[in-house]
Amino acid sequence: MTTAIRNITKDAMYDAVAPDDFEAMLEVDRYNNRSPAFDKIISATHDHFWDPLDKTYIDFSEPFDLENQALMPEDFFIPMQLDYVRNSLSEKERIRFMNEIVRWNLSAILHGEQGALNLSASLCHVLKDQGAQEYAANQAREEARHVTAFAAYIRARWGTPLPCGETLKNLMVEIISAPEVYKKIVGMQMLIEGLAMGAFATFFQHTTDPLGRKLFQLVMTDEAFHHKFGKLWADRTIPKLNAEEHAVVEDWAAHCFQNLLFNLVNPLQQRAVYEQFGLDADRVMEELQTAVTDEKRREEMKESANIFRVLIKTLLNAGIITERTRAFYAMYVDMDELKAEGDTMVGDAIAEEGIAFLKTVNFRNRGVATLMAAE
């Protein structure tokens, strides 16, 4: 059974076994073969440590007037460009509608964080290298605080999260239960983490809620590192793939991208939200499809698609996208512009600023902890 799994492993530190093969972990020789490749990322966790339950870092009791203020500017919401949607809602309803869409988006993020937690835990079961395992265990711990933090934010603003959309749910189930390491790393570390970085950067830059802004920045201080793990894998794997293996990885990436895109922009996934406002999700879907063929509208949508920039750029820089699938991604972002931008990622600067803040808080707290321990 084990031999049937196609892990496409090109570097010993990503060597993997079947998810149920715990005995392989007890091999004596394994313990002295720990790769140091992830040590820097693992020890950096102390620099960007934060606790969602500690008000020194973030205070979820900060209020916000959801009834009279939209959490994001109107041009963030693509359906708001449609006359059908705009004219069906009163001024007050528009604000409530936009905030419910944000609630849906943040719920998807919360479910995504839960997926990242379970995915990292699943990596602990298959990766053989102790260093890689310690990295994955460390990420699982960081994802756990993201679940706590997003659940707390949603509770503070709306009480409860909305259910997970079918497309995102199916994709996460597929990635978490997959025994193949490449599927997990490309699907989660590169695609979902990449989308998360893009989405967090967009929310951070545009949200009108200072508490939300704080939350996104704190989460980004962790996510920037998770994203690096995927990049490290790609650097050590992609150049060594033969043509057939490359095609398998490239197709898998396109499959995951299509699902994520569908989850994010398809009004049918958010049907329950539309129904609440007496809006027909099928009609919104149809009108959006017509709008895509309109050149001007398409350009406006490309602006909104900025959320996909980090993700597509990661795939492009990692060499996963070739001429075979290039056109598919070019529908959403300007590929030449991306290439010209080089290595810097949207969101890295925001994460760095957050880490600088955390270092000062953690330094202060460590002083207090030492004092208390000495008492």
State which residue, 226 or 246, has the beta carbon closest to Fe ion. 226
The site that binds Fe ion (CB under 5 A) totals a number of residues, namely 6
State which residue, 98 or 221, has the beta carbon closest to Fe ion. 221
DSSP states along 83-144: HHHHHHS-HHHHHHHHHHHHHHHHHHHHHHHHHHHHHHHHHHHHB--HHHHHHHHHHHHHHH
Q: Hey, is 16 helix, strand or coil?
A: strand
Q: How many residues are present in the chain?
A: 375
State which residue, 147 or 301, has the beta carbon closest to Fe ion. 147
DSSP3 helix / strand / coil % (the chain, rounded to 5): 75, 0, 25
Determine the Cα–Cα distance for residues 185 and 372; give it in Å rounded to an integer: 42
- Residue 120: how many other CB atoms lie within 10 Å: 25
Q: How far is the CB of 136 from Fe ion (least distance, A)?
A: 11
Amino acid symbol at 296: K
The Cα-based distances of 266 to 136, 139, 281, 323 in angstroms read 32, 30, 9, 27
Is residue 333 near Fe ion by the rule CB under 5 A? Answer: no
Candidate segments 168-176, 183-191, 220-228, 311-319, binder of Fe ion by CB under 5 A: 220-228
Q: How far apart are the first and last CA of the chain?
A: 57
State which residue, 146 or 246, has the beta carbon closest to Fe ion. 146
Q: How far is the CB of 358 from Fe ion (least distance, A)?
A: 16
Candidate segments 62-70, 97-105, 225-233, 279-287, binder of Fe ion by CB under 5 A: 225-233
Q: Tell me the per-residue interface mask from 29 to 58 with Fe ion, x by CB under 5 A, - otherwise.
A: ------------------------------
Look up residue 351 and give its two tokens: 């994460």
Q: How far is the CB of 294 from Fe ion (least distance, A)?
A: 36
State which residue, 94 or 184, has the beta carbon closest to Fe ion. 184
Determine the Cα–Cα distance for residues 118 and 111; give it in Å rounded to an integer: 11
Q: How far is the CB of 226 from Fe ion (least distance, A)?
A: 4
State which residue, 111 or 226, has the beta carbon closest to Fe ion. 226
Is residue 143 near Fe ion by the rule CB under 5 A? Answer: yes
State which residue, 72 or 116, has the beta carbon closest to Fe ion. 116
Tell which positions 88-127 bind Fe ion, by CB under 5 A. 113, 116
Determine the Cα–Cα distance for residues 277 and 96; give it in Å rounded to an integer: 9
Q: How far is the CB of 141 from Fe ion (least distance, A)?
A: 11
Q: How far is the CB of 113 from Fe ion (least distance, A)?
A: 5
Q: How far is the CB of 35 from Fe ion (least distance, A)?
A: 21
Q: Is 185 in contact with 230 (CB distance < 8 Å)?
A: yes
State which residue, 146 or 214, has the beta carbon closest to Fe ion. 146
Q: Is 200 in contact with 230 (CB distance < 8 Å)?
A: no
Q: Is 219 in contact with 201 (CB distance < 8 Å)?
A: no
DSSP states along 208-256: S-HHHHHHHHHHHHHHHHHHHHHHHHHHHHGGG--HHHHHHHHHHHHHH
State which residue, 16 or 116, has the beta carbon closest to Fe ion. 116
State which residue, 70 or 358, has the beta carbon closest to Fe ion. 358
- What pairs with residue 16 in β-bridges? 127
Judged by CB under 5 A, which of 94, 111, 226, 246 binds Fe ion? 226
DSSP state, 188? I
Candidate segments 145-153, 210-218, 307-315, 317-325, binder of Fe ion by CB under 5 A: 145-153
Q: How far is the CB of 139 from Fe ion (least distance, A)?
A: 6
Tell which positions 160-189 bind Fe ion, by CB under 5 A. none
Is residue 71 near Fe ion by the rule CB under 5 A? Answer: no
Determine the Cα–Cα distance for residues 215 and 225; give it in Å rounded to an integer: 17
Is residue 146 near Fe ion by the rule CB under 5 A? Answer: yes
Q: How far is the CB of 146 from Fe ion (least distance, A)?
A: 4
Phi, psi of 9 (to 5 degrees): -90, 125
Question: By the criterion CB under 5 A, which residues form the site for Fe ion?
Answer: 113, 116, 143, 146, 223, 226
